[in-house]
């Protein structure tokens, strides 16, 4: 069994941003030297997501608008904000909605994706350094 671990750091200019990290996932797979197994891709912060979807900028805007309906930013609405001095409770709820991790299958030496699948980092409270862990395991 082989494993390999790498980390990505993001410091986005906008507070919410969606970034395609599929190439970095493949780099982790290659560095691990596995042809069969999994790559875990997981946000290391609780106000961010990792997800699989479409490389289509219109959809990324739809996702950001939709999250603003699902969990409005409205800082005054949340106890987390009043108790801690934070204003980002909505970012936590958005992380829970979309999830913070995915597992990518590896088959015959490649990420075993369907035709349109790509991996994304979803930043819901950026403008500061935040990390993603990539961990490949297989043989």
Binding residues vs a copy of itself (CB under 8 A)? 1, 3, 5, 36-38, 40, 42-46, 51-54, 56-59, 61-63, 66, 70-71, 78-84, 89, 92-93, 95-103, 105, 107, 112-114, 116-117, 130-131, 133, 135, 137-139
d(CA 118, CA 16): 19
Asked whether the beta carbons of 34 and 133 are under 8 A apart, the reply is: no
d(CA 80, CA 83): 5
User: Shortest Cβ distance from residue 30 to a copy of itself (Å)?
Assistant: 18
Nearest residue (CB) to a copy of itself, 29 versus 92? 92
Which of 99, 102, 97, 100 has its CA nearest to residue 69? 97
Q: How many CA atoms are closer than 13 Å to the CA of 35, on its beta-carbon side?
A: 2
User: Shortest Cβ distance from residue 112 to a copy of itself (Å)?
Assistant: 6
User: Shortest Cβ distance from residue 13 to a copy of itself (Å)?
Assistant: 21
């Amino acid at each position: 069994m082989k494993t390999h671990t790498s980390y990505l750091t993001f410091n986005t200019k906008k507070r919410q941003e969606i970034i395609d990290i599929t190439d970095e996932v493949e780099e982790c797979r290659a560095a691990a030297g596995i042809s069969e197994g999994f790559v875990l891709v997981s946000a290391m912060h609780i106000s961010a997501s990792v997800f699989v979807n479409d490389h289509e900028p219109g959809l990324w805007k739809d996702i950001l608008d939709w999250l603003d309906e699902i969990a409005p930013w409205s800082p005054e609405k949340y106890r987390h904000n009043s108790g801690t001095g934070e204003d980002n409770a909505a970012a936590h709820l958005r992380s829970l909605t979309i999830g913070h991790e995915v597992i990518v299958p590896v088959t015959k030496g490649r990420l075993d994706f369907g035709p349109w699948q790509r991996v994304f980092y979803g930043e819901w409270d950026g403008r500061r350094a935040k990390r993603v862990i990539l961990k490949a395991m297989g043989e």
